[in-house]
Structure 1
Amino acid sequence: MKLPAPPTEKSFPSPLHHPRVATVIGRWLGLAVAICFLTGLFSHLQQDTPGWLTIPSRPASLYRVTQGLHILSGSVAVPLLLAKLWTVYPKLFAKLPWPPSRKALTTILERGSILVLVSALALELFTGFLNTLQWYPWPFPFKQTHYALAWIIVGALLVHLAVKLPLILAHWRRTPADSTPVADSLPPAITGLTRRGLLRTVAGGGALVGITSVGQSVPAFGPVAVLAPRKPNVGPQGLPVNRTAKDAGVTGIGANWRFTITGPRKLSYTLDELRNLEQNRSDLPIACVEGWSQGAHWEGIRIRDLLSLCGAPPGSRVRVVSMEKGGFYATSELPPEFADDPLTLLALRLNGAELALDHGFPARIIAPNRPGVLQTKWVHRLEVIA
């Protein structure tokens, strides 16, 4: 029995596998990847700020917007990546030029960059999606791996663009040739779709994914956010909880609990004494790295007022210490820009009521333009850093 010949690039004659289609979808995918990378970089720098960089505390909702865009662009990138792969996969069956030549080396470089790009991008999107569900079925640290993969994707993408630049430029704009009927030698697409129909389908699919997931950060789309893992207004006191007090090993406070500040002068307060200090209000969102965000009303003592009471000068850096037992975020630091901001509070109340234990009772940090993981809960000590 004679085996069928292996497929070649010409075995896929559908007009939907046209460079113009690949270029248009590639533009959309490139935009999604760029937004996802830049907003993800901002989030990483928020959590691991190098000494030479200053993160501003305003606009107060900046992190809410950037992290919402990060998750949204990553979600939309999934159908775009699948569509892009479908348009170009026949190229994988093209034979390498022989004998070896410059064209052969270019082809090898192109395929190598595609292999790295697709593998890294697929792993990035997959692990990012599981992160939104707070499920980590792997032995490696998510944050560091996610960050490293982002740079691998950018590098592979730049190589791929450099190799394919002539073809991309040739099909960047719509030409009369793109509107001409398919040559008689080519059969119509099996699906019956035209190129324009395919592009509309892909755009519609990406928009549908975006609309049904963005509701976790845009309340107007909350009712249709069927793909969003979190409903921002669902939880104690109308706010979700990522890490419960039980998970953090916090069971509450005893009768001898005291809040302390160590600085030029060491101060110590009971909870009632904290309540008797001047109270202020901040309307700020909790914006989580998983993409959800929700605005809330917070009441408590301004951090800058506490620093003034202990004799710390303006521009001081503050370490925040939680009662949490271990974990990556049992401590955090407030740079001077945040410690001095009048919106930054040691919050005692949330939405008109005393903090729930899962929201950080007896006290937590709330500051503008900060990731939720740095809004430390169950705070019992502030340390002024020289």
Structure 2
Amino acid sequence: MNEHDRAAPVPTTKPPAAHEDSPHESELLLPGVVTEKISPARSAAVASRVGIVLGIAITICFVTGLISHWVQHPPPWFWWPANPVWLYRLTQGAHVVSGVVAIPLLLVKLWSVFPRLFARPLIGSPLRLLERGSIAVLVGSMIFQLVTGLFNTAQNYPWEFFFTTTHYAMSYVAFGALAVHLAVKLPVVRAALARPAAGSESPPDDAGVASRRGVLVAAGAAAVVAGVAIAGQSVPLLRRVSVLAPRSGEGPQGLPVNRTAHQAGVSEEARDAEYRLEVIVGDLRRQFTRAELAALPQTEAEVPLACVEGWSVSAHWSGIRLRDLLAAVGEYRGGDVEFRSLEQSGLYNRSVLPQSHVVDSSTLVALRLNGEELDLDHGYPCRLIAPTRPGVLQTKWLSAIEVRA
């Protein structure tokens, strides 16, 4: 057999690397004119990599959100430390920043997988049906959580439901749907991660198709910009560049105000010369005028005021240590302490402080803020300040303090 008698090798073709995990036209229930324009960057490689970062952001947001809810509405088993004093500032700041960072990542993720939503068959096996159902629940719940959470940072509530409980309940739905989705898609993710995401650039064309690398860089940049744009409300160094931070230290005495004395309807009572703070310890009770409170030994503490919307500001407080004030009435033998406000209505006109915070040296009945007498909107004549607590539980315009039996 001579050289010319040998069979010529059969040429093989391999699609460009950028198309290896992109859906083929025949796989989609879409018109050909549409599928021809689908960017190769809309691939499992991009979706998997963006999805990993998105999953991390959602996990941080979910865990810190649970902490915030449990601090405000503690179940019997929950314990939250009084130190370090900046702990709630960190967790709640991370909650809001991770939620905002997740927004551009979710948009890129949806962009990358959108054509696959029309892949054949639409229903198929029970596993595929589970996958489709988890995607629908995941996308719907995530959009709901991120949008309502973003509105909450600006204290804007254009809906009828109570945000706190609804947001808390939906967090389980969103995280559960994410877990199911990851379990179903794990083989696809592992296969996609085994290939380089940007080993080959997408071929240029008239439509200017973005490369996978370009999409990943753009997604990362958008996530960083979004995070920085909101992080300044809890990170002082970023305050000047956080253009989307709704709270950044503006307000009387350098602190923002969520609820004013006028809104609470306490302006006259707080200024009343007959004001008294009642302190109850067991069967003993005593009433203090503001002058008597000011005459007691005063203590100073640097405690940040941190709110559920994500903003926090360091502040210098001075007043009476709570444990010293209780001792001036009777012997404190442990237990939670309830604080009641002059405000008669509202969701947070009272709060309960656990024993670990009651005995902490940074917990004050504050009379002064940043070297000045408390502003009326910050709780004059006196307010509670305790470390690692959200602002809604730092009861203002105190009328009574009672040790629970």
Range class of TM-score, shorter chain = over 0.9
Q: Give, in whole Å, the separation in 2 of the partners of 1:338 and 1:288.
A: 18
1:180 deviates by: 4.5
The aligned runs of 1:298-317 (5 Å cut-off) are 298-317=317-336
The aligned runs of 1:291-330 (5 Å cut-off) are 291-330=310-349
TM-score, normalised to structure 1, is 0.92
Q: Give, in whole Å, the separation in 2 of the partners of 1:141 and 1:13.
A: 41
What are the Cα deviations for residues 163-209 of structure 1, in whole angstroms up to 9, with x where unaligned?
Answer: 1111011122444x862466xxx885933421111100110111111
Conservation of the 8 A alpha-carbon contact between 1:15 and 1:189: no
Q: Give, in whole Å, the separation in 1 of the partners of 2:260 and 2:229.
A: 27
* Aligned position for 2:254: 238
Conservation of the 8 A alpha-carbon contact between 1:7 and 1:93: no
Q: Give, in whole Å, the separation in 2 of the partners of 1:375 and 1:41.
A: 19
Q: Give, in whole Å, the separation in 1 of the partners of 2:230 and 2:276.
A: 42
Q: Give, in whole Å, the separation in 2 of the partners of 1:203 and 1:40.
A: 23
* Aligned position for 2:223: 206
Q: Which runs of 5+ in 2 are unaligned?
A: 1-28
Conservation of the 8 A alpha-carbon contact between 1:349 and 1:355: yes
Conservation of the 8 A alpha-carbon contact between 1:79 and 1:202: yes
Q: Give, in whole Å, the separation in 2 of the partners of 1:194 and 1:209.
A: 22
The percent identity for this pair of structures is 49
Greater gyration radius: 2
Matched, 1:126 2:144: no
Conservation of the 8 A alpha-carbon contact between 2:384 and 2:395: yes
* Structure 1 pair 178–253 and aligned structure 2 pair: CA distance change class (3 A): closer
What are the Cα deviations for residues 127-182 of structure 1, in whole angstroms up to 9, with x where unaligned?
Answer: 1111111111111110000001100001111111111111011122444x862466
Q: 1:125 is aligned with what amino acid?
A: L
1:78 deviates by: 0.6
1:310 deviates by: 2.0
Match of 2:277 among 259, 262, 267: 259
* Aligned position for 1:179: 199
- For the residue of structure 2 that corresponds to 1:87, the secondary structure is helix
Match of 1:197 among 197, 207, 214: 214
Matched, 1:59 2:75: no
* Aligned position for 1:269: 288
What are the Cα deviations for residues 25-55 of structure 1, in whole angstroms up to 9, with x where unaligned?
Answer: 0011101100100111110010011112221
* Aligned position for 1:348: 367
Q: Give, in whole Å, the separation in 2 of the partners of 1:189 and 1:104.
A: 39
Conservation of the 8 A alpha-carbon contact between 1:14 and 1:188: no
* Aligned position for 2:266: 250
Larger displacement relative to structure 2 (53-62 or 335-344): 53-62
- For the residue of structure 2 that corresponds to 1:377, the secondary structure is coil
* Structure 1 pair 188–165 and aligned structure 2 pair: CA distance change class (3 A): farther
- For the residue of structure 2 that corresponds to 1:213, the secondary structure is helix
Conservation of the 8 A alpha-carbon contact between 1:316 and 1:336: yes
Conservation of the 8 A alpha-carbon contact between 1:14 and 1:189: no
* Structure 1 pair 196–363 and aligned structure 2 pair: CA distance change class (3 A): same
TM-score, normalised to structure 2, is 0.88
Conservation of the 8 A alpha-carbon contact between 2:198 and 2:211: no
Q: Give, in whole Å, the separation in 2 of the partners of 1:147 and 1:357.
A: 32
* Aligned position for 2:31: 7
1:12 deviates by: 5.3
1:13 deviates by: 4.1
Conservation of the 8 A alpha-carbon contact between 2:229 and 2:241: yes
Matched, 1:75 2:100: yes
* Aligned position for 2:132: 111
Conservation of the 8 A alpha-carbon contact between 1:12 and 1:90: no
Conservation of the 8 A alpha-carbon contact between 1:312 and 1:384: no
- For the residue of structure 2 that corresponds to 1:349, the secondary structure is strand
* Aligned position for 2:5: none
Matched, 1:27 2:52: yes
Match of 2:401 among 371, 378, 382: 382
